[in-house]
Amino acid sequence: MNSPSSVEPPGLAFGWPDDKLRTQTDVFRLPGGESVMVRVISPQDADGLQAYMRNLSGLTRRNRFLGAVSELTPKELERLTHMGGPGELALIVFGRVGAETAMIAEAIQAIAPQSQRCEIALSVTDAWQRKGLGTLLLSHMECRARLLGARYLVGDVLRTNDAMKGLARKAGFAIRGPFKDARLIEIVKDLSSPPTGLPCREQFSAPQLIAA
The answer to whether 24 contacts ligand COA (rule: CB under 6 A) is no
Phi, psi of 179 (to 5 degrees): -105, -95
* Contacts with ligand COA, 94-113, as mask; x by CB under 6 A: --------------------
Q: ω into residue 31 within 30 of 0, thus cis?
A: no
At 32, which amino acid appears? G
Instruction: Say if CB 80 and CB 90 are below 8 A apart.
Output: yes
CA 203 to CA 198: how far, in whole Å? Answer: 6
Question: Residue 147 or 158: which CB sits closer to ligand COA?
Answer: 158
Q: Which of 122, 141, 150, 153 binds ligand COA (CB under 6 A)?
A: 122
The answer to whether 203 contacts ligand COA (rule: CB under 6 A) is no
The answer to whether 130 contacts ligand COA (rule: CB under 6 A) is yes
Q: How far is the CB of 5 from ligand COA (least distance, A)?
A: 26
The answer to whether 55 contacts ligand COA (rule: CB under 6 A) is no
Q: How many residues bind ligand COA (CB under 6 A)?
A: 23
Integer CA distances (angstroms), 138 to 40, 54, 83, 123, in order: 15, 23, 18, 11
Q: Which of 124, 141, 143, 145 binds ligand COA (CB under 6 A)?
A: 124
What element of type H or E holds 23?
helix 18-23
The answer to whether 20 contacts ligand COA (rule: CB under 6 A) is no
The answer to whether 121 contacts ligand COA (rule: CB under 6 A) is yes
What DSSP string runs through 97-134?
ETTEEEEEEEEEEEE-TT--EEEEEEEE-GGGTTSSHH
The answer to whether 146 contacts ligand COA (rule: CB under 6 A) is no
Q: Where on the chain is the footprint of ligand COA (CB under 6 A)? A: 60, 63-64, 121-124, 129-135, 155, 157, 161-164, 166-167, 170
